[in-house]
Amino acid sequence: MICYLNGEFLPLSEARIPVLDRGFIFGDGVYEVIPVYRRQAFRLAGHLARLGRSLDAVRIARPHDDARWAELIRELVAHQEHDDQSLYLQVTRGVARRDHTFPAGVTPTVFMMSGALTLPPADVLTRGIPAVTQTDNRWFRCDIKSTALLANVLLRQAASDAGAGEAVLLRDGFLTEGSASNIFVVRGGTIRTPAKSHLTLPGITYDVIADLARDNALPYEQCDVHETEVRAADEIWLASSTREILPVTALDGRPVGNGVPGPMFRRMYELFQAYKDIHCPPAG
């Protein structure tokens, strides 16, 4: 597999970074995961805008402008064998003697790789997945897409240990998001999800769902979602770049609604697939 590291395209197995890279030492970096359909990056402008906001928030200089990022991404995608890809991009503060304070005059490390996008298979979409609730014990800047993901890793592992595919996170009695996804609930025909804040990652898939709800006049609200509303939901979905939209059909061992994916999920899933076909059309 060909990856990109600091200006060079090279086999992943040959890519090396110094152990003093602050990404390795401190988790001092930010990242993006961009889905690529039919060799076209999906919602690229949104991903690059979020990358820019993450970099600004952690005070790492933007290594490239959007046009240059788009070129590099196109070239990396062209190097891969699969048409549908999941492209990972990371920028760290760079290599320096270990000291918490920002080093002076250091060049950020830029790394990208892309592999096959493996979406949830049809039987998983038909059945949905089980999830468990967990206390959201992360920091207060969850809006930054930081590579420092230890809390998310532990939360997802706790879900996995419980036989579940995602952790639904609750902070002070309210829904925030998943360990690696945004969460939506449906009750009485209305889609509800928390508004963007420092407590959640502003998901690109979340934005697509908001656009599709608005354009198709589906009842949709961004508002506080209390734990009781999560537990009484007719439907729960998770949304992310690598899982698209996926129904959660059991929560903490109890069925969500009827325990099968609901009608609002099916509608949104169809709209999402149609949107993909329009925005990443087949070549020719």
Binding status of residue 182 toward ligand PMP by CB under 6 A: yes
Instruction: Quote the tokens at residue 153.
Output: 């890793």
The verdict on whether 145 is a catalytic residue reads yes
- Choice between 33 and 70, CB closer to ligand PMP: 33
- Choice between 94 and 178, CB closer to ligand PMP: 178
Q: Using alpha carbons only, what angle is made at residue 50 by residues 48 and 55, rounded to the nearest 5 degrees?
A: 95
C-alpha pair distances (Å), 150 with each of 105, 137, 210? 28, 11, 29
Binding status of residue 84 toward ligand PMP by CB under 6 A: no
The single residue of 22, 93, 145, 156 carrying the catalytic annotation is 145
- Choice between 96 and 240, CB closer to ligand PMP: 240
Within positions 134 to 163, which residues make up the interface with ligand PMP, using CB under 6 A?
A: 152
Whole-number minimum distance, CB 237 to ligand PMP, in Å?
12
Whole-number minimum distance, CB 181 to ligand PMP, in Å?
5
Binding residue for ligand PMP, selected from 205, 209, 246, 280, defined by CB under 6 A: 205
Binding status of residue 199 toward ligand PMP by CB under 6 A: no
Binding residue for ligand PMP, selected from 212, 240, 246, 250, defined by CB under 6 A: 240
* Site track for ligand PMP across 32-71, x = CB under 6 A: -x--------------------------------------
Query: Which one, of 65, 116, 108, lies nearest residue 90 by Cα?
Result: 108
Whole-number minimum distance, CB 221 to ligand PMP, in Å?
19
Query: Which one, of 12, 19, 5, lies nearest residue 95 by Cα?
Result: 19
Binding status of residue 177 toward ligand PMP by CB under 6 A: yes
- Choice between 233 and 239, CB closer to ligand PMP: 239
Q: Which stretch binds ligand PMP (CB under 6 A): 83-91, 100-108, 117-125, 234-242?
A: 234-242
Q: What is the CB neighbour count within 10 angstroms for residue 177?
A: 28
- Choice between 178 and 262, CB closer to ligand PMP: 178
Q: Which stretch binds ligand PMP (CB under 6 A): 18-26, 66-74, 175-183, 252-260?
A: 175-183
Binding status of residue 201 toward ligand PMP by CB under 6 A: yes
- Choice between 37 and 206, CB closer to ligand PMP: 206
Size of the site for ligand PMP (CB under 6 A): 14
C-alpha pair distances (Å), 133 with each of 41, 51, 126, 175, 201? 32, 29, 22, 9, 18
**87 vs 114: CA distance, rounded Å:** 4
Catalytic residues: 145
The residues that touch ligand PMP, with contacts defined as CB under 6 A, are 33, 152, 177, 180-182, 201, 203-206, 239-241
